[in-house]
Amino acid sequence: MNFGDRRIRLTLAILPLVACASDKKRPALPEVQYELDSPVASAAPSAAPVASSAPVLPAQPPAAPPPKECDDVAMAETLGHLGNNLGDELVKSNYNGNVLVSPVSVAYALDLAGLGAKGDTLATLERVAFAENCGVVQLAKRLADFQHALLTTTADKALPGFAGGNSVFQVANGVWGDRGVTIQPEYGSLVKELLSAEVMRVPFAQTPEDARRTINSWVGDHTQQKILELLPSGAVNKSTKLVLTNALYFKGAWEHPFSAGQTSIQPFFFSDGRKVGVSTMTETETVLYVEKPDGQQVVELPYKGISLVMRIHLPPKDVPFADFKTATDVGPSGTLEHVAVKLSLPKFKFGQRYALSGPLKTMGLAALFSEGADFSGITGGKDFVIGEVFHGTFIDVDERGTEAGAATGVVMRATAAVRPKEMKVNRPFVVSIVDRKTSAVIFTGRVADPTKR
């Protein structure tokens, strides 16, 4: 559909795969310039009220409910809501395949756009995507606090870090504007204050391919080169005016590493009855574990020096994996306890890329993709709607620990000790990386075939 030249094309790229900056120097970018709005003229005084013989009592509007506090619980509920809904939608089209999403990355991406949303667009985003748990400003503050706590925990750790038993969690945000577009100074100040997002200029209008390469290089630098093509060829062109980016990277060493000498080839049973030999790690350790009444087993594997843990859900043998919903919490009757567990876990490594516009629309966010969307807080005009949301993830699990990352790109176009319990993870399972302190979900996914890369 052709909406005419009066509309502006915007690309938002959000990358939940933040690695530390590499030694490569980033391309030099010109200093950002803002144009301040003219002062708004004060409103004319209203006409004097008509005299009345009877006293008129002022109308008392109903008291608005106090805003819900966006605490750790509310943030965890928001991330769980995003992870469950996106995971369930992706499983519908890939129920026998591996799925991995990063609710934190998607939340950063939507929040970065949401800080410039207005009116019904903002209300829809907060109601549907964030389940009315947090407003966009509240969520940005909670994400910043959460990020700061994890970064403080790992600030002195080197990357890469398995050799020294290190765990690292890093995040970066950026706003990339065409050199000719005006970004509202209030928006630039807000994203810098809340999300530490720098505003940078690239030549979309002159050389869009150079701009795309510059942004992709920034993504690679902040994901330890795990995500190199966040913006695919053709994702930006001369009508692109803005790209928003978030990058997230995690590398965690197990608190109790698996012994490489115990790793062996063991059978893994697919949902359709086939089996294949996979490289399987085995270790007996006291960890948090529960076997639920329905036969589901859940175990938590802590990482060293950080509050993040890997949580693995093994469905009951008689439950088809396609019917087992991606879980981000332990669920009913699932109080974890420290017990000795003999755990057999396959090594796995894979990456995924998704187009999320379909799942997000199904969730109820179609308004963000429609002509009526209002992101005027970014540029001052209703010039942009979201065209597509690209999401990429990566995970690698072995005897030493876990390396994981994600990237999300929102492309905006013109409107137009007792005997050990035994847990053999030898069939499809659900995996998530969560923060033990806040229950915030960093990654959640399903492993249907650990041999697929």
The secondary structure of 348-375 as a DSSP string is: EEEEEEEE-HHHHIIIIIGGGGSTT---
Q: Which long-range contacts (CB under 8 A, 24 or more apart) does 271-277 make?
A: 271/96, 271/320, 271/321, 271/322, 271/427, 271/428, 271/448, 272/96, 276/451
The one-letter code for the residue type at 448 is A
The answer on pLDDT for 142 being more than 80 is: yes
pLDDT of the residue at 8: 36
C-beta of residue 86 within 8 angstroms of C-beta of residue 78: no
C-beta of residue 237 within 8 angstroms of C-beta of residue 230: no
- Structure-token pair, residue 258: 């698996």
φ and ψ at residue 137, rounded to 5 degrees: -70, -45
Question: For 372-389, what is each residue's pLDDT tens digit?
Answer: 899 999 988 887 778 778
pLDDT of the residue at 401: 93
Which residues have CB under 8 Å from 421's CB, separation 6+? 289, 291, 339, 340, 341, 342
Lowest mean pLDDT among 89-93, 222-226, 302-306, 331-335: 331-335
pTM (predicted TM-score): 0.80
Q: How confident is the model at residue 241 (pLDDT cuts 50, 70, 90)?
A: confident
pLDDT of the residue at 1: 37
Better pLDDT: 390 or 208: 208
Distance of alpha carbon 404 from alpha carbon 104, whole angstroms: 13
The answer on pLDDT for 65 being more than 70 is: no
Fold topology of 10-21+67-254+349-416: Antithrombin; Chain I, domain 2 (3.30.497)
Better pLDDT: 185 or 320: 185
Residue among 4, 411, 31 nearest 241 (CA): 411
Q: Which long-range contacts (CB under 8 A, 24 or more apart) does 377-380 make?
A: 377/115, 377/116, 377/117, 377/118, 377/184, 377/186, 377/187, 378/10, 378/116, 378/183, 378/184, 378/187, 378/242, 379/8, 379/116, 379/181, 379/182, 379/183, 379/184, 379/241, 379/242, 380/37, 380/182, 380/184
φ and ψ at residue 280, rounded to 5 degrees: -120, 130
Better pLDDT: 329 or 137: 137
pLDDT of the residue at 299: 94
Query: At 254, which helix (H) or strand (E)?
Result: none
C-beta of residue 70 within 8 angstroms of C-beta of residue 194: no
Residue among 248, 188, 234 nearest 403 (CA): 248
Residue in the block written with tokens 């008392």: 60
The answer on pLDDT for 164 being more than 70 is: no
The answer on pLDDT for 58 being more than 60 is: no
Question: For 9-50, what is each residue's pLDDT tens digit?
Answer: 344 444 433 222 233 333 443 333 322 223 233 333 333 333
C-beta of residue 141 within 8 angstroms of C-beta of residue 70: yes
Q: How confident is the model at residue 228 (pLDDT cuts 50, 70, 90)?
A: confident
Which residues have CB under 8 Å from 160's CB, separation 6+? 224, 251
Question: For 348-370, what is each residue's pLDDT tens digit?
Answer: 999 888 888 899 999 999 999 88
The answer on pLDDT for 298 being more than 80 is: yes
Q: Report the C-alpha dihedral over residues 327, 71, 304, 302, rounded to 10 degrees.
A: -30
Cis check for the bond before 160: say yes or no (omega within 30 of 0). yes
The answer on pLDDT for 308 being more than 80 is: yes
Question: For 269-285, what is each residue's pLDDT tens digit?
Answer: 988 889 999 999 999 99
Lowest mean pLDDT among 23-32, 234-243, 289-298, 424-433: 23-32
Distance of alpha carbon 230 from alpha carbon 405, whole angstroms: 12
The answer on pLDDT for 56 being more than 50 is: no
- Structure-token pair, residue 87: 């995971």
- Structure-token pair, residue 318: 């008689």
φ and ψ at residue 311, rounded to 5 degrees: -115, 125
pLDDT of the residue at 230: 84
Average pLDDT over residues 286-300: 90
pLDDT of the residue at 2: 36
Buried b (16+ CB within 10 A) or exposed e, 317-331: eeeebeebebbbbbe
pLDDT of the residue at 68: 60
Question: For 115-127, what is each residue's pLDDT tens digit?
Answer: 999 999 999 999 9
Instruction: Say if strands 401-414 and 297-302 run parallel, antiparallel, or are unpaired.
Output: unpaired
Distance of alpha carbon 100 from alpha carbon 106, whole angstroms: 12
The answer on pLDDT for 171 being more than 70 is: yes
Distance of alpha carbon 224 from alpha carbon 162, whole angstroms: 14
The one-letter code for the residue type at 162 is F
The answer on pLDDT for 135 being more than 70 is: yes
Rg (CA), the chain: 24
C-beta of residue 403 within 8 angstroms of C-beta of residue 251: yes
Distance of alpha carbon 140 from alpha carbon 42, whole angstroms: 32
pLDDT of the residue at 57: 39
pLDDT of the residue at 31: 37
